[in-house]
Amino acid sequence: MTRVDFYHLQKAPLEQVLPKLCEKAYSTGKKIKILLDNEERIEFINSLLWTYSEESFLPHGSKKDGFIEDQPIFISTNIENENGASILILADGAQIDISLLNTYERVLNIFDGNNDLALERAREYWKKIKTSDNELHYWQQNDNGVFEQKA
């Protein structure tokens, strides 16, 4: 059984939330895969993770950086688990077939609640996952941008 967490963005954008979630995931000592839906966003996210904070360091890379299997955090649009990650972060509308969820211990699905299409896609994905044998959790940003778990 895989734990799947949905993160509903309403106040802070992906650019603020993703690095913090990566820090928490990286602190577990497990490899992470960030799956994006758009090839052009790989370099943006790659750069973001290098520059978002002077106090933090998140070792990561993409296909162009090489050493794919060794990357603690790997950014890609390919659904394959190239770096042998235990944690999958879905962003920018990326999704995997629910039959592949069990190849990860944990999946974090981050979606923009201010975008009607993203919200609808997340709702549909939730319904599909709910029919499977996975553990689902839903987190929503409050007025201060802090995530609160909803029932």
For 12-52, write each residue's pLDDT tens digit: 999 999 999 999 999 999 999 999 999 999 999 999 999 98
The rounded distance, in Å, linking the Cα atoms of 123 and 117 is: 10
Res 104: pLDDT: 98
> Could you give the count of Cα atoms lying within 13 Å of 55 in the half-sphere of its Cβ?
2
Query: What is the chain's mean pLDDT, rounded?
Result: 94
Res 56: pLDDT: 84
Region 97-113 average pLDDT: 96
The rounded distance, in Å, linking the Cα atoms of 22 and 151 is: 24
Query: Any idea what DSSP says for residue 143?
Result: T
The torsion angle over the Cα atoms of residues 41, 142, 108 and 58, rounded to 10 degrees, is 60
pTM value is 0.95
Res 65: pLDDT: 82
Region 129-144 average pLDDT: 93
State whether residue 126 is helix, strand or coil: helix
82: nearest Cα among 33, 26, 38, 42:
33
Cβ–Cβ < 8 Å for 18, 89: yes
Query: 72 pLDDT band (50/70/90 cuts)?
Result: very high
Query: 123 pLDDT band (50/70/90 cuts)?
Result: very high
Percent of the chain with pLDDT over 70: 100
Query: 145 pLDDT band (50/70/90 cuts)?
Result: confident
Q: Can you list the domains of the chain with their CATH numbers?
A: 3-150 (3.40.50.10110)
